[in-house]
Chains A and B, each alone.
Chain A
Amino acid sequence: MAMKLNINGKAVEVAAEPDMPLLWALRDVLGMTGTKFGCGASFCGACTVQLDGEPVRSCQTPVSAVGTAKITTIEGLSASQWGRKLQDAWVALDVPQCGYCQAGQLLAAEALLRSTPKPTDADIDAAMSGNICRCATYTRIRAAIKQAAAS
């Protein structure tokens, strides 16, 4: 069935089963592959997107449950001022190794900075520990969040 979604500020129609997770509607139906499949069970955070600014696990979010909430994915992150700052810090500090988790990391970090513009290490731990980086680039993720916060 066709559902109307708001993705990165645009109205999009998606033809999908209502219980299809948003992750697969984005990746396979709409061809927006920036959002990543990691575990399919909300353990790893690779599939993190934002609904009305809140980070959610798109692998556990049925597309029919999104309703009118505004979806932000990695493809739309640079529309946010914090998003751009984070992207620039990620590039400048050379955060990625394989890079696969970084979309989810960035969406989680953007939500953190919007609510907590000057995060402490404990704030970063609390906001980011749901997002696994298998290459363990945590030292640089932490530094990049702080750099973005300071800029």
Chain B
Amino acid sequence: MSLSRRSVLKAGIVAGGGLSLGWQIGAARASVPGALSAFVIVRADGRIEITAHQPEIGQGVKTSFPMMIAEELDVDWNQVTVVQAPGNRAVYGVQLAGGSSATPTQFERMRRLGAGARAMLVEAAAKAWGVPAGEITTASGRLYHKGSGREAGYGQFAEAAGWLKAPDPKTLTLKEPSQFRILGRRIPGVDNRRIVTGEPLFGIDARPPGMVHAAFAKSPVFAGRLKRANRAAALAVPGVKGLIDVAERRDLKTEIDVGLPGIEVLPQGIAVLATSTWAALRGRDALACEWEGGDAAFQSTAAWEAAAARAHRDGPQKPGYINHGDAAGKLAGAAKRVTADYTYPFISHAPLEPMNATAHVKDGKCELWLSTQTPEDARKMVALALGIRVEDVTLHLMRSGGGFGRRLMNDFAVEAAVIAKAAGVPVKLTWDRGQDFAHDWLRPGGWHRLEAGLDAKGDIIAWTDHFVSFGKDGVLNPTAVIDASLFPSGVIRDYRADVTVLPIASTLGWLRAPINNAFAFVTQGFIEECAHSTGRDSLEYRRALLGEGRAIPIAEEFSGETKADAQGTPYHTGRMRGVLDKAAAMAGWDRRTSLPKGRGMGIAFHFSHLGYFANVVEASVGTDGSITVHHVWVAADIGRHIVNLSGAENQVQGSVIDALGAALGQRITFDGGAVEQKNFGDYSLARMEMAPPVDVAFLSTDFPTTGLGEPAYPSVAPALAAAIFQATGKRLRQLPFTSDLLTA
């Protein structure tokens, strides 16, 4: 990243003596003590404290970011204590767990913090010892001057360093990778011991004094209205202390960081306050609420499927949504044409920690205990709902029991704040699993009608797609876009996408590797079919399609209906080929011709969130249509550095197995306006018995270091589909891959 002129390091003295160093965020406010972000503290007694400011949702950032600082500070990892920051952008800058964005945007920034503190300690020692700073070396939190034989711990010069002017971050020299002693190693998560001993860490574990528990009865159909409720029955449930009517509000739409409206409708409902979560949920059930209407009452999976089929038959609403080159002309002149329809369903995030928020509203201020991916959005939305200032919302940023994109949205925090204001005491609102499914911000489903034109050699020379997905007023939802930055647009110069928008009223959102998690299945699946139609090898065919290693720019002419549709991230075909070749080598791609009957290997690749991934899946299919995944080999290219090898490998293995779980069983359907799935009995997540070994290799390439929470996910389903095809001869063009598709 580039360090802007606004990137200024600010030093200070901590109480009890010692150096504190942080970034000055925004306008200079050095006179306000609280505005200094103390990212690094070196205490006079030698203790090192490093602040983790990003939301920890399982992606390992509470460990990996302090590692970046500690490396350049040149201390040993076991000297470091990590402290979790509260949510406060004015002090800590951007705090956001989304888009696998934290590492690429802040890797160098964090390192420069550590390097800055080290430089100040060196300068303080140089002054005291009367030697040039350039002659001082450091290691393991100690300063050395070889010439004079002097040495000292960091603590000895911590306070003196605190009085110095912080260096210009641009002038700092960062370590060469060969000097790394922390980065790139396997460092266990800083909260591991607390997790395995059951200490309170998560939002749902918050218990401020005087807290009551709450459940919130609201319509299973988005924005439905209350018809009747049995309040007396609810109040008769032991432990229920009271009921609070929550009125519908539609004035809370606000711009948030993640490109969605924040909260469109705060639904009408009844909050049940009780002495326990259980009593609150029982009270909610005793209300036996009846609901009517709702913006989403028309929603039905069957009707949408019929509408998508009609659109494919009758033609698109928006022809030429993306249109570059001459796809129609090239198709007409093609030696061969291949067509196929692909579809995938809505899926749900289903983090294991149900949505919850604890709020205390008093004297125009709000205190929140929250598991969230977007703490600043939460503060902003809660402030808006309560009619108070953002500065008056204090947010204790709790560890999230999973995010996957669900906790980019903070609707549950707004509900808790509104209920807590009426209650006058701290309130913990907990959704049950049924509400989690009913009120998710779902990954949208979609339908693609594809046609490719092949030349005499069988190479793809033209590609068209009639994409049907969801939005409002004829505009695709941001989470359902098709844009010109998505492969194979760019590589295939004659490319056209038509679009039809189906109406939806309930909420759509970002889910792990959004857009890509569905498109990779479609695109790679169709390329596989094209390869098969020519009799060529899947790997060779993809290599030929990618051609020479080169960056594919996103030209203006390639963007969608609006410029904003293009993600604008160019991709590099050489890096795609690099991971393909590596995955093939790891798996022993040549073995695929000698596999036993009923077994297959498939390969696929995808680029998203700045990361390049390819994988080979080996699977077999039983006579009952049951799918067994035996092994997955993954090759990744996320640039020069792996921050934490342990965390990185864990992310990739988890992403792959999560994607297998989605491919094998996840589907959300609507009927009568409402989500039909209620719990993990009808929405299956990956389990131990289906988790195969996953081998992971990281290529080291001379590109910037990028993130890992998402990009390993998309290429899994198409590789599995290809393996199933080899095993059975059945081409799966719809997710999930249920066994009935293979026995039919």
Contacts and interface: CB of A to CB of B under 8 A. Distances in A.
Nearest to A59: B278
Nearest to A99: B195
Contacts of A16: 276
B433 A38 contact: yes
A17 B195 contact: no
B59 A74 contact: no
Contacts of B196: 74, 77, 86-87, 90-91, 96, 102-103, 106
Given A99-B401, A125-B688, A29 B197 contact: no
A28 B191 contact: no
B680 A132 contact: yes
B688 A100 contact: no
What is the predominant secondary structure among interface residues of chain A facing chain B? Answer: loop
A128 B207 CA distance: 31
A21 B56 CA distance: 30
A136 B654 contact: yes
Interface in A86-139: 86-87, 90-103, 106, 124-126, 128-139
B192 A91 contact: yes
Given A33-B204, A136-B653, A28 B192 contact: no
A97 B687 contact: no
Contacts of B560: none
Interface range, B side: 35 or more
A74 B657 contact: no
- Most chain B C-beta atoms within 10 Å of own C-beta, residue among A75, A90, A139: A139
B654 A33 contact: no
A135 B402 contact: yes
B263 to A, nearest CB: 24
Nearest to B57: A98
A100 B402 contact: yes
A33 B646 contact: no
A82 interface: no
Contacts of B646: 94
Interface in B237-251: 238-239
A25 B689 CA distance: 31
A74 B654 contact: no
B207 A134 contact: no
Interface range, A side: 35 or more
A23 B691 CA distance: 28
B58 interface: yes
Contacts of A136: 653-658, 661, 686, 691
- Most chain A C-beta atoms within 10 Å of own C-beta, residue among B58, B351, B694: B58
A99 B399 contact: yes
Nearest to A134: B352
Contact of B58 (A32, A86, A92, A97): A97
Contact of B399 (A21, A37, A98): A98
Contact of B679 (A43, A131, A134): A43
Contacts of B687: 129-130, 132, 138
Nearest to B401: A100
B650 to A, nearest CB: 6
Contacts of B400: 98
B549 to A, nearest CB: 32
A24 B402 contact: no
A142 interface: yes
A137 B277 contact: no
Given A38-B433, A96-B195, A131 B688 contact: yes
A140 interface: yes
A87 B239 contact: no
Contact of A38 (B187, B352, B650, B655): B352
A16 B403 CA distance: 33
Contact of A75 (B197, B350, B351): B197
B276 A34 contact: no
28 contacts: A17-B279, A31-B207, A32-B198, A36-B202, A36-B401, A38-B353, A39-B680, A43-B680, A86-B196, A90-B192, A94-B192, A94-B647, A97-B654, A98-B56, A98-B400, A99-B58, A100-B401, A106-B196, A124-B688, A132-B352, A132-B685, A135-B654, A136-B658, A136-B691, A138-B691, A139-B653, A139-B693, A139-B694
Closest 6 CB pairs of A and B: A34-B198, A100-B401, A98-B58, A74-B198, A138-B691, A97-B58
Given A98-B56, A100-B352, 6 more contacts: A20-B276, A34-B200, A35-B198, A44-B680, A100-B401, A136-B653
